[in-house]
Amino acid sequence: MWAAHRSDVGHQVDSYIYWNSPDGFFATEPTGLPGLGPHGMYAYNHGNAFTRKPEESYFSPPYALGKNRARRIHWESKETDLLKIKFQLRGSETEEGLTDTVWIGPQGEDSYYVETGDPIRNLPKNTHWLQYKATLVSPYGCGSPKLEEVRIDF
């Protein structure tokens, strides 16, 4: 379904269903549904559809550390007073072991790295694989912080 926002006159504009078939979508024969644009189209609040929190998370691919030890986490971003980015890490001896490891911040499981350059704490001593989770916080759903780069110092 495609929700039209407005016409040249106002928000009273049809939204359309484009029907699918084995030959693809029929762009020439959509079914119009009377509406008032996309406003009020969704019955749930802004936020993550699963947790309902005003945030979305990006999970990095696993990184092989070898014999190196992760010491600090740095990132480049564009944030505001409301739009923030916070990080958690998880480490394991094997790449497969990451999926069974909890996400942690500097004070453990329910904490986050919130300042670029923070020292990395609490990873298991036998960490040979590392992964980070960047959580982008947007309280009102009308903007997003911008994450440009993440770097781990050894």
Question: Could you give the domains of the chain?
Answer: 1-43 (no CATH), 55-153 (2.60.120)
For the whole prediction, is pTM greater than 0.85? no
How many C-alpha atoms does 84 have within 13 Å on its Cβ side? 11
Write the CB contacts of 56 (distance below 8 Å, at least 6 apart in sequence).
48, 135, 136, 138
User: Given a cut of 70, is residue 10 above it in pLDDT?
Assistant: no
Taking only the tens place, the pLDDT of each residue in 26-83 is: 777 788 777 665 655 555 566 777 777 889 999 999 999 999 999 999 999 999 999 9
Bridge partners, 57 (sequence order): 135
Q: Say which range, 51-60, 95-104, 105-114, 144-153, has the weakest mean pLDDT.
A: 51-60
Per the structure block, which two tokens stand in for 49?
């559809």
Helices within the chain (DSSP H only)? none
pLDDT value, residue 100: 95
